[in-house]
Amino acid sequence: MTEAEALPVNAIEVRGLEKTYAGSKKAPPKVALKGVDLAIPRGSMFGLLGPNGAGKSTLINILAGVVNKTAGHAAIWGRDIDERPRDARAALGVVPQEIVADVFFTPREALEVQAGFYGVPANERRSDELLAALGLSDKANAYVRALSGGMKRRLMVAKALVHNPPVLILDEPTAGVDVELRRQLWDYVRRINAEGVTILLTTHYLEEAQELCDTIAIMNRGEVVACEPTPRLLRRLDTRNVIVTPEGEVVAPPTLTGFEVSPRANGAFAVTYCKGQSSVEQVLAAVRAAGVTIADITTEDPDLEDVFVALTYGDPKAADPTKD
């Protein structure tokens, strides 16, 4: 069997994963995961989204070996986390939400220590390469306590990669990071993904997930409520907006029977319609019938935020996968 044939189809596989936290005299047991099934293809940029308390962190912590599952199976790079726990963890790099760094080390020392934990031989360590890739070369010998928050977060990415894992989990990696540092971080993440590293990303910046991820899973209340390629997920909502710029000044958007109308900037307004029930021409006819002369129009499809809200707060259209 060749090396290519030996590679797993899925970088992460989860089947029937359950987690229930024990209760107490004052609180009942808490069910965090309810039979989660998930398959993350090798080489993908995979987004895992959901509101607070959806179960994302519990799932990640089980994969990382920090939390014990109640039931089910999970494998990382084809290695079952119960049967081969050390091998499974060796295939995984995790960048947690919280910034965790020894402030008395320099960045180079921090990477060297981390590599030592994974048993990476001294002649195979990539500390300087990682520092350069993440824009930290000029801070290699400064104390970590002197780094900004964004620099510390980039250092955490470097620490997660010291053992060259094929799978990288980024848990809210750009929280509190300014726009420029966020751009640099995503440039690097795209690069290593192109080189074959599978990325599992959680983020509250939905526009990031929409731009970066080829597949997205949405969790809610311990369950996966959607898992599809990003373009297909965006087609879940059967709605579209027509943005109308009226000619001349309009005091207020018109009231249109059968359509939802909302104001936009510079006197424009948006008309929302269901694609299966109406058409752009019908919208424009209703606008003209309301006495509005149209100077310009544009159309606008739902974005990931619309789908996310619909799936997590109960829109049956979005929850029905036949509504493509």
Where are the chain's structural domains?
3-91+165-233, 238-301
Q: What is the mean predicted confidence (pLDDT) over 142-168?
A: 91
| Whether pLDDT at 63 is above 80 | yes
Alpha-carbon distance of 125 to 151, in angstroms, equals: 21
pTM, two decimal places: 0.78
| Whether pLDDT at 217 is above 90 | yes
Percent of the chain with pLDDT over 70: 94
Count the Cβ atoms, other than its own, within 10 Å of residue 322.
Answer: 4
| Whether pLDDT at 202 is above 80 | yes
pLDDT of residue 99: 83
* Cβ-based neighbours of 170, under 8 Å, separated by 6 or more: 95, 157, 189, 199, 200, 201, 202, 203
> Residue 323's pLDDT band (boundaries 50, 70, 90)?
very low
Topology, domain 3-91+165-233: Rossmann fold (3.40.50)
Nearest 10 degrees: CA dihedral of 164, 170, 176, 181? 50
Percent of the chain with pLDDT over 90: 60
- Give per-residue pLDDT as tens, 270-279: 998 887 678 8
- Give per-residue pLDDT as tens, 276-305: 678 889 999 999 999 999 999 998 877 787
Q: Which CATH class is domain 238-301?
A: alpha beta
